[in-house]
């Protein structure tokens, strides 16, 4: 009898949890019918050249759409110079926006919602992906690109990152502007929202971590010295 009682209590407890999981929730301006959210997953399936979302990506997202559910897209690069993975889609050209719009429309047609994830890889990149632009970071760390266990998917196979440089203080507002312009393109494609990729050792995380941020200006890490006021 004790085992049966325990089983009933376990069933009731998990049923209550499931009821919450499949209950509606308001997520900002987006109303979801349930709380099962698809996380962003880099699939490397964009059309080449151009990093353009095509039919394979359309099929992928349409298959995973649920009525009233939310999908967060795979990471989309802000520009050619911020490309960090072979086959990852972009959010910077008209062809890319048209491709994304087709996907967003298909998700909406099935009653789903979709947010765009925006991505700046920073030092996690290679010049074969960026059109020759040198990858950037908060600070310079040669060990990062010299580590043979750290590999990036490139047009020429798996390769170690290219040497990076530190962003100049005067360049950082331009990076923020890149994000702003990308958000405008996200809106024009019809997405329901935006998620900014700020983890996994990419550019924003490179500024947040003391190990990769050795700056001494106002964009510095935890051990930085106060910088003089620009005023």
State what percent of residues in the chain have pLDDT above 90: 85
Instruction: Label residue 230 by pLDDT band (50, 70, 90).
Output: very low
Q: Is the pLDDT of residue 86 over 50?
A: yes
Question: Exposed, middle or buried: residue 20 (CB in 10 Å: 0-12, 13-18, 19+)?
Answer: exposed
Instruction: Label residue 100 by pLDDT band (50, 70, 90).
Output: very high
**Model's pTM, two decimal places?**
0.87
- Return d(Cα 198, Cα 92) in angstroms, integer: 19
pLDDT digits (tens, 9 = 90+) for 205-228: 999 999 999 999 999 976 545 444
pLDDT digits (tens, 9 = 90+) for 119-148: 999 999 999 999 999 999 999 999 999 999
Domains plus CATH for the chain?
Answer: 38-208 (3.20.20.70)
Which are the contacts of 180, defined by CB distance < 8 A and separation ≥ 6?
none
Task: Return the active site residues.
Answer: 202
Question: Residues 188, 189, 191, 196: is their CA dihedral positive or negative?
Answer: negative
Q: Omega before 89 cis (within 30°)?
A: no
């Amino acid at each position: 009898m004790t085992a049966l009682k325990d089983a009933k209590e376990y069933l009731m407890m998990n049923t209550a949890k499931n009821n919450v999981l499949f209950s509606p929730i308001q997520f900002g301006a987006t109303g979801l019918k349930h709380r099962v959210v698809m996380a962003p997953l880099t699939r490397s399936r964009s059309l080449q050249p151009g990093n353009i979302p095509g039919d394979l990506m359309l099929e992928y997202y349409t298959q995973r759409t649920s009525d009233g559910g939310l999908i967060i897209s795979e990471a989309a690069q802000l520009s050619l110079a911020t490309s960090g993975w072979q086959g990852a889609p972009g959010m910077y050209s008209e062809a890319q926006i048209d491709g994304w719009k087709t996907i967003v429309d298909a998700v909406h047609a099935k009653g789903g919602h979709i947010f765009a994830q925006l991505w700046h890889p920073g030092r996690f990149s290679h010049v074969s992906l960026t059109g020759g632009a040198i990858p950037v970071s908060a600070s310079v760390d040669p060990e990062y690109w010299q580590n043979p266990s750290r590999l990036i998917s490139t047009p020429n196979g798996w390769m170690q990152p290219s040497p990076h440089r530190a962003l100049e203080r005067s360049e950082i507002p331009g990076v923020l502007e890149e994000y702003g312009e990308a958000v405008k393109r996200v809106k024009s494609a019809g997405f329901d929202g935006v998620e900014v990729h700020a983890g996994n050792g990419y550019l924003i995380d490179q500024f947040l971590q003391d190990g990769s941020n050795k700056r001494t200006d106002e964009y510095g890490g935890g051990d930085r010295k106060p910088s003089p006021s620009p005023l």
